[in-house]
A and B are shown apart, each in its own frame.
Chain A
Amino acid sequence: MLVLSRKVGESIKLADDIEITVLAVDNQRVRLGIRAPRHIDVRRSTPEVNIVEANREAALVTDPAENKGILSKAASARNKQG
């Protein structure tokens, strides 16, 4: 891994067309501005992992019959709430 230090307002360039600027630093949080061509997919790496965890947590790995009725109950509970 290449490690660089930048001050606020300074940037780094990747290849010819990707520029990453440090916009602000506040305690433990760094705000970055990323300028890149449209075909470059910019992703945050942590939420990606979290989706996998969130999906695994939400997955119902059971016989569908066990969940029967939950959503119709949810729909009527929600209608009562308005």
Chain B
Amino acid sequence: MNNSTSDKITVETLRNKIIEFPEGLPGFPASRAFVMAQEPEERPFAWMQSVSDPKLTFAIVDAYAWDKDFSLEVDDAALEEMGSLDPLDYAVYFILHIQKQENRTTLQAKPNAPVLVNVRNRQARQVVVSSSSTTEKAEALCLQL
């Protein structure tokens, strides 16, 4: 899946919409539905907020915006289960690990487990990517505030 989904499509179609993880989000099996919340000035970042537990939130970033060279190989069987084999139907996000220290905040992507969302039916799934130079690069791109 090398085609990058344009940021515009992703944002316009998913903003404030509910996405569903039919198998639950690993580690949070009770949370299957999440709202993609994003203010325009937050692009390409967004919040993924659990519908059943409003206090559970993840910060995410469009994978291709975080690392323009990022590419992802996903098994066709997995894509088929999500309802489309067309790479252009998918938005790809990294979950961010936010660390607040005394006077700075660090954001680091988790590129080994990107979240795939079929923007047409809003089915989501977290996939495992084996470590590669691409994922290492994406992980090394740290943002400090």
A77 close to B145 (CB less than 8 A): yes
Query: In the bound complex, what is the Cα–Cα distance between A44 and B112 (angstroms)?
Result: 13
Majority SS of interface residues in chain A? Answer: helix
A74 close to B28 (CB less than 8 A): no
Query: In the bound complex, what is the Cα–Cα distance between A39 and B76 (angstroms)?
Result: 10
Contacts A48-B26, A61-B56 given: A74-B143 contact, CB under 8 Å?
Answer: yes
A71 close to B46 (CB less than 8 A): yes
Distance in angstroms from B24 CB to nearest chain A CB is: 11
- Count of chain A to chain B residue pairs whose CB atoms are closer than 8 Å in the complex: 106
Contacts A51-B27, A70-B98, A74-B145 given: A60-B54 contact, CB under 8 Å?
Answer: no
Q: Which B14-46 residues have C-beta < 8 A from chain A?
A: 25-28, 38-39, 41-46
Contacts A73-B145, A74-B143, A74-B145 given: A55-B55 contact, CB under 8 Å?
Answer: no
Majority SS of interface residues in chain B? Answer: strand
Q: Confirm or deny: A52 has a beta carbon within 8 angstroms of a beta carbon on chain B.
A: yes
Cβ-defined partner of A62 (8 Å) among B39, B43, B55, B130 = B55
Query: In the bound complex, what is the Cα–Cα distance between A44 and B28 (angstroms)?
Result: 20
Cβ-defined partner of A59 (8 Å) among B38, B43, B56, B113 = B56
B57 close to A54 (CB less than 8 A): no
Q: Confirm or deny: B47 has a beta carbon within 8 angstroms of a beta carbon on chain A.
A: yes
Chain B contact residues (Cβ within 8 angstroms of A): what range?
A: 35 or more
Interface size on A, residues (CB 8 A): 33
A52 close to B97 (CB less than 8 A): no
Nearest CB to that of B144 among chain A residues? A77
B58 close to A58 (CB less than 8 A): yes
Interface flags, A57-82, vs B, CB<8A=1, else 0: 11111111001001111111110010
Query: In the bound complex, what is the Cα–Cα distance between A63 and B47 (angstroms)?
Result: 13
**What 5 additional pairs, Cβ within 8 angstroms, besides A55-B95, A77-B144?**
A39-B77, A52-B27, A59-B27, A61-B57, A64-B47
Interface residues of B, Cβ cutoff 8 Å to A: 25-28, 38-39, 41-47, 49, 54-59, 61, 76-77, 95-98, 105, 107, 110, 112-113, 126, 128, 130, 143-145
Closest 3 CB pairs of A and B: A71-B45, A55-B27, A52-B27
